[in-house]
Amino acid sequence: MYKIESKNVNLHYGTFHALKGINMSIEKNTVTALIGPSGCGKSTFLRLFNRMNDLIDGVKIEGECLIDGKDIYSKSIKIDELRKRVGMVFQKPNPFPKTIFENVAYGLRVNGITHKNFIEERVEICLKQAALWDEVKDKLKKSAMALSGGQQQRLCIARALAIEPSVLLMDEPASALDPISTAKIEELIYQLKELYTIIIVTHNMQQAGRVSDSTAFFYLGELVEFDSTKKIFTNPSEVRTQNYITGRFG
Amino acid sequence: MQTDFKKRISQSIAFWTFRILSLIVMGVLFSILGFIFVKGIGVVNWDFITQMPEDGMTKGGIYPAIIGTLCLISGSMLFAFPIGVMSGIYIYEYTKDSWYRKFVQLMTSNLAGVPSIVFGLFGMALFVNKLGFGDSILAGSLTLGLLALPVVIRTTEEALKAIDKSYREASYALGGTKLQTIRRVTLPMALPNIITGLILSIGRVSGETAPILFTVAAYFLPKLPTSIFDQVMALPYHLYVISTSGTNINESRGMAYGTAVVLILIVLILNIIANLIRRFLSKKYKTN
């Protein structure tokens, strides 16, 4: 069984047809990169899987989105339960104006966990997983706002990991960061693959090439090509993919 | 060369016009304050603020009016603040951007535009007579609270609007519900700005005379209230009384200025306190 599947998904923002019949199947514990020019629908596609598109007025979704074989848009699914299983990291680092500790603990607290020792344990584990522990272990009670952009983004990753999701959605997680922080995030993605199924939206071709197992190329709301990253970057079947990757448009 | 010179001239004319106009505004404010302080500070002393009025309000102090005004400020805020903040949350977080939200917003703005004497009449009809609270702190506070509501609602809405949506998304993405997101993320972040609204409405409420005229204010009542169903004296009304319809207006002229000084000082002190709270909170929740 595939971890994540979309079957003939169509999405409309009002009259705008943003996703056109997308079919995609994603294996467990892999990294899938979504690439394509701005406005091609890749972020919208990513946000299908934690139902973030539901927050926007006038969105209509057709087709099936499955995680572990279950339709996440069916009536029996509770949206906050779903989001507990599907973590998300955003483009701009967006830690809450709270302490470093409380940021990581947030997901646990809103999900009703009050056990102090358990929370402390999880916070430490997640900060270690996000490769941030050594830098912040002495200032957990300090505001997260005092961290650098790269540290904030790793904190956001730790925050997303705290509720033990099985899927991690990343929306251009390194686009606001300097090259050194970007390298750290990429290394992290590589390690996190062991435990999570990751989908990452990126504008950076090299990044897609470095971190992902499969790559999907979106153009004007269509999934043009979806294959192993190696194949996409060396021998794509579609001319449009070829043109985009080599920088001839987009 | 010529155009360059012209540009410079028009630059400095504009600059000086703006500067002089803003100085005039400040000048007016300071002359009002200065005038009142010079005339009134002479009568303000410990006895003035702690004694009952005597001799037909030409002697003694204004203690009951101070207490009355403080009661009305706190009463109206206790009423307007929670209701206003919750309404603001409802309008911004729960209604969609539709004709319904616009309608509610329009009605709120209309409420802000209603003359305060109309609030007074409404308060008398509803709270004093219909609900039978009589002339009382309760009726007066509710009336003043209604007056303050639009400001609190509006500032709450604006404060919530100013919060970047990425914080809400982050909370939802972690499985937070709407209510948890409001309680744990957006409301704390919005609180400093909401308190600014509170400051503005305290300023407005403390100085209003018309809404309390028929609902609570006593002409002369040299004792302190013992329950929320008692009448009280209030500073703005007392000021009006001793300046226009007292027993001996000339005798009490100095006291009128003194009353104005005390009223201004109370508003000033409350503003300073609220500002300190706001600063403390915005330091705690600052986002950059």
B167 contacts A83? CB cut-off 8 A = no
Is the pLDDT assigned to residue A123 strictly greater than 90? Answer: yes
- Note which residues in 54-93 of chain A have CB less than 8 A from chain B: 55, 57, 80-81, 83-84, 87-88, 90, 92
Segments forming the whole domain that contains residue A62 = 4-97+166-245
Q: How many domains does chain B have?
A: 1
- CATH assignment of the domain containing A220: 3.40.50.300
Cβ proximity of A5 and A59 under 8 Å: no
Rounded to a whole number, what is the distance in Å from the CA of B283 to chain A's nearest CA?
10
In a domain, B11, yes or no: no
Mean pLDDT of A128-150: 91
In a domain, B27, yes or no: no
Rounded to a whole number, what is the distance in Å from the CA of A118 to chain B's nearest CA?
18
Residues of chain B whose beta carbon is less than 8 angstroms from a beta carbon of chain A are 96-97, 164, 166-177, 180, 184-185, 188-189, 284-288
Q: Which of A56, A73, A59 is nearest to A17 (CA)?
A: A59
In a domain, A233, yes or no: yes
In a domain, B201, yes or no: yes
| More reliable by pLDDT, B251 or A99 | A99
State the count of interchain CB pairs (< 8 A) between A and B.
73
| ipTM of the modeled complex | 0.90
Q: Can you give the pLDDT at residue A119? A: 95
- The amino acid that residue B69 corresponds to is T
Instruction: Tell whether the torsion through CA atoms of A71, A51, A67 and A34 is positive or negative.
Output: positive
Q: Token pair of A236, please?
A: 């794509």
Instruction: Tell whether the torsion through CA atoms of A131, A2, A208 and A90 is positive or negative.
Output: negative
Q: Can you give the pLDDT at residue B167? A: 94
A179 CB-near residues (< 8 Å, 6+ apart): none
Q: Token pair of B147, please?
A: 């007056």
The residues pairing with A5 across neighbouring beta strands, listed in sequence order, are A25, A66
In a domain, A45, yes or no: yes
Q: Report the chain B residue with the minimal C-alpha distance to residue A164.
A: B174
Instruction: Measure Cα distances from B185 to A165, B191, B287, B288 in Å.
Output: 22, 10, 12, 15
In a domain, B250, yes or no: yes
Chain B residues with CB under 8 Å of A94 CB are 164, 166-167, 169-170
Q: Can you give the pLDDT at residue B1? A: 61
The residues pairing with A62 across neighbouring beta strands, listed in sequence order, are A10
Q: Can you give the pLDDT at residue B255? A: 87
DSSP, residue by residue, B198-227:
HHHHHHHHHH--HHHHTTTB-SS--S---S
B43 CB-near residues (< 8 Å, 6+ apart): B254, B255, B257, B258
A81 contacts B173? CB cut-off 8 A = no
Is the pLDDT assigned to residue A186 strictly greater than 70? Answer: yes
Segments forming the whole domain that contains residue B115 = 63-284
Q: Over the stretch B54-96, which tens digit does the pLDDT of each residue have? A: 777 777 888 999 999 999 999 999 999 999 999 999 999 998 8
pTM of the model: 0.84
Chain B residues with CB under 8 Å of A55 CB are 168-169, 172
Interface with chain A: mutation pick from B95, B165, B169, B174, highest number of A CBs within 10 Å: B174
- Report the relative pairing of strands A222-228 and A167-171 from DSSP bridges: unpaired
Mean pLDDT of A95-118: 94
Q: How many domains does chain A have?
A: 1
Look up tokens 């001839």; give the residue.
Answer: A248
- Report the relative pairing of strands A59-67 and A70-71 from DSSP bridges: antiparallel
| More reliable by pLDDT, A22 or B56 | A22
In a domain, B23, yes or no: no
- CATH assignment of the domain containing B262: 1.10.3720.10
Q: Can you give the pLDDT at residue B288? A: 54
Q: Which of A189, A184, A187, A192 is nearest to A200 (CA)?
A: A189
A175 at interface of B, judged by CB pairs closer than 8 A = no
- pLDDT < 70 positions in chain B: 1-2, 246, 286-288
Q: Can you give the pLDDT at residue B200? A: 83
Chain B residues with CB under 8 Å of A84 CB are 174-175
Task: Return the H-helix or E-strand segment holding A89.
Answer: strand A86-89
In a domain, B35, yes or no: no
A107 at interface of B, judged by CB pairs closer than 8 A = yes
Phi-psi map region of A68: left, alpha, beta (phi>0 left; psi -120 to 50 alpha)? left
A131-140 long-range CB contacts below 8 Å, 24 or more apart?
A131/A184, A131/A187, A131/A188, A132/A158, A136/A100, A139/A100, A140/A99, A140/A100, A140/A101
A96 contacts B174? CB cut-off 8 A = no
Is the pLDDT assigned to residue A250 strictly greater than 60? Answer: no
A50 contacts B177? CB cut-off 8 A = no
Q: Can you give the pLDDT at residue A184? A: 86
In a domain, B18, yes or no: no
Cβ proximity of B223 and B64 under 8 Å: yes
In a domain, A75, yes or no: yes
Cβ proximity of B62 and B262 under 8 Å: yes
B128-132 long-range CB contacts below 8 Å, 24 or more apart?
B128/B214, B128/B215
Q: Can you give the pLDDT at residue B35? A: 93
Mean pLDDT of A29-35: 95
Please state, in angstroms and rounded to a whole number, the distance separating the CA atoms of residues B129 and B126. Answer: 6
Rounded to a whole number, what is the distance in Å from the CA of A63 to chain B's nearest CA?
22
Phi/psi of residue A17, each to 5°?
-90, 95
- Report the relative pairing of strands A197-201 and A31-35 from DSSP bridges: parallel
The residues pairing with A19 across neighbouring beta strands, listed in sequence order, are A11
Q: Over the stretch B193-220, which tens digit does the pLDDT of each residue have? A: 998 888 888 888 988 999 998 898 888 8
Rounded to a whole number, what is the distance in Å from the CA of A116 to chain B's nearest CA?
18
Q: How high is the mean pLDDT of chain B?
A: 89
